Amino acid sequence: MAELSKHATAMPPFYRGVRFLAHWTVRLYFYDIQVVGLENIPENQPMILAANHPNSIMDTVLLSTESPFRINYMARSGVFEHPVVRAVLNGVGVIPIYRAHEVSNQPERNRNSFYRAFELLEAGGCIGMFPEGTNSPDRHVREIKTGTARLALEAEARNDFQLGIQIQPVGLNFAERDRFLSSVLIRYGRPIEVRDFADQYRANPRQAVYDLTQVILQSLRDVATHIHDDRNRQLVIDIHRIYGNELLSEFMGDHSIDLRPLTHRLFDRIRAADGPRPDLDDRFTIEQAIADAVDFYEERNPAMVARVRMDIRRYKDHLRQVRLRHDILHEHSPGNLSSRREALKLTAYALGLGPLAIYGMLTSLVPYLLMRAIVSHHPEEAKRAFIVLINSFYMFPLFYGLQCWYLWHNVRPPLWAMALFALSLPLSAFFFLSWWRKILAYRDRILSRTLFRTRKNLLDTLDLERRQLIDTFENIKFEYLIARFGHLFDADADYALPSDMLTTEAKESRAVPAEEHAS
């Protein structure tokens, strides 16, 4: 048992090698990866890691590279079909799960998989599972299957509920799940003690499995952004983009200080991802609060939700017509526009470093176009990020290698020049990304400046629309807080709202029964 325990928790050399390679690959792919809630992870106890599943195999890569322990995943047998993939998965401890039609003549194959999972848990290991069973829509946690609860309860029952298995919920929150250099938050919640269901399982196993499954589902929705109705997903995203910074400043405070270590800043600058990082936990907390408010009013005042949806759509159409983003509208005043000196500096930057940026673009254009073609023809959005990641892993090095080979065989440069050329290929590609972002930002400032001088009325109209939307959100926010948390508000307090600003529900929540006054 001691040897099995060591095997269950230790990271063998092959696992460490794959993990190290994957770690730096995802760090290059994502703009920012933040992990919160590590203090919730139980120590020295068997654990089932239960996560939402928004981004296909990328979810397993992220959890394996960003978790401080070894994870043995349970995955459907279909992913083991390719011999190379099968060798890698077996090497990192993935346990195959077979569907009923796959083992109709060999039922012992699935039993063996579950026995292997039981042994790992009994040895103090960690099993990774995605209870939804399939990829979920963006910002939505599906109803989950009972497999996670059944595995946990059966493993405990085999050991008279003395193992101490914890189910550790973890939420994967992607800012834009299929976009290169996007951000992701990994949020660990409070673990679920499986032995708490011991008495219920002995009395009624089926009901215990169902109840534990519901607890797991709620825990996942607590750590992962969950928009109940997928039709409201874009509305929630739009409100967050327009109003999210105001809510962050009001409820979370100022997070403009850059706390990254110097080494991280240098690495980020090299990969064209420089700049301070916002607190993603706060960002997704605000987004979830917006989603909850939209769900609340969708049920109680759908006409108001429809009106807000139309106002935002009209505002976005107007922005699209002038090719502006809403986040630069506040820069249209003369005091915030680019000065002549700044404009000259940016022009010099664009022209002076343009050749280097274009060099980086041209030397990486072919693999980029190939990647784009592959991704555009893939029907499942949830798998696109992993497809980009895995193809980038060999496409760009292969094309860079071909360029180096061609240069070496036709020009025969000195070795130092050859090494410098090889190093310049990935660095110049990342520099192009940085240069292009600055050019786009410069373009926005020029466009804003031009509109201010030539079509000031149009810009003022857009700014008025934005401020009207924010005023609407402010009023709805106060109504929502009173309606949902009215028991926390005192009608006599200084912060109490005027009654004409409240909805009927808010007024009712403020009302105090006569007998309470009499007492």
- Domain boundaries defined on the chain: 2-226
- Report the amino acid identity of residue 415: L
List phi, psi (to 5°) of 92.
-100, 10
Q: Does residue 233 surpass a pLDDT of 70?
A: yes
List the alpha helices (DSSP H) in 158-261.
Answer: 198-203, 205-223, 233-251
The pLDDT of residue 273 is: 55
Q: Please list, in sequence order, all residues whose beta carbon lies within 8 angstroms of the beta carbon of residue 380, skipping any fewer than 6 positions away.
A: 56, 135
pLDDT at 501 over 80: no
Band (356; pLDDT cuts 50, 70, 90): very high
Structure tokens that stand for 459 in this block: 């810009």
Give the range among 234-238, 327-331, 393-397 with minimum mean pLDDT.
Answer: 327-331
- List of residues 6+ apart from 458 with CB closer than 8 A: 322, 451
Instruction: State the chain's mean pLDDT as an integer.
Output: 81
| Cβ contacts of 120 within 8 Å, gap of 6 or more | 8, 46, 72, 126, 127
**pLDDT tens-digit profile of 242-284?**
998 888 887 766 555 555 555 555 555 555 555 566 788 999 9
| Of 70, 88, 65, nearest in space to 12 by CA | 70
Q: Which of 195-199, 329-333, 461-465 has the highest mean pLDDT?
A: 195-199
Q: How many CB atoms lie under 10 A from the CB of residue 423?
A: 10
Confidence of residue 517 (pLDDT cuts 50, 70, 90): very low
DSSP letter string, 399-414 = HHHHHHHHHHHHT---
Burial label for 372, CB within 10 Å (0-12, 13-18, 19+), is exposed
Which residue type occupies 181?
Answer: L
Residue 348's CB is within 10 A of a number of other CB atoms, namely: 10
93-144 pLDDT, tens digit per residue, is: 888 887 666 656 666 667 888 889 999 999 999 999 999 988 888 899 999 9
For range 378-397, the mean pLDDT: 77
Q: Which tokens belong to 219?
A: 């825990």
Q: Do β-strands 47-51 and 72-76 pair in parallel, antiparallel, or remain unpaired?
A: unpaired
Residue 510's pLDDT is what? Answer: 47
Q: How far apart are CA 99 and CA 340, in angstroms?
A: 67
Residue 513 has pLDDT above 50, yes or no: no
Q: What is the pLDDT of residues 451-475, one digit of tens each?
A: 666 677 777 788 888 889 999 999 9
374 DSSP assignment: H
Q: Which residues contact 99 (CB under 8 A, 6 or more apart)?
A: 76, 77
Residue 376 in this model has a pLDDT that exceeds 80? no
User: Phi-psi category of 253—alpha, beta or left, where left has phi over 0 and alpha has psi -120 to 50?
Assistant: left
- pLDDT at res. 437: 81
Q: Give me the pLDDT at residue 439, please.
A: 84
Whether the Cβ atoms of residue 208 and residue 157 lie closer than 8 Å to each other: no
The architecture in CATH of the region 2-226 reads 3-Layer(aba) Sandwich (3.40)
The residue with greater pLDDT, 319 or 202, is 202
The residue that leads in pLDDT, 169 or 388, is 169
CA 99 to chain centre: 30
Three-state SS for 166?
A: strand
Q: Token match 């890691």: residue?
A: 49
The answer on pLDDT for 15 being more than 50 is yes
Judge whether residue 342 has pLDDT over 80. Answer: no
Predicted local confidence at residue 158, as pLDDT: 94
The more confident residue out of 63 and 250 is 63
User: Phi and psi dihedrals of 42, rounded to 5?
Assistant: -70, 145
Task: Say if residue 318's pLDDT is above 90.
Answer: no
Q: What's the CA gap between 203 and 188, in Å, rounded?
A: 31
- Identify the pLDDT of residue 486: 67
pLDDT exceeds cutoff 90 at 443: no
* Backbone conformation region of residue 36, classed left if phi is above 0, alpha if psi is from -120 to 50, else beta: beta
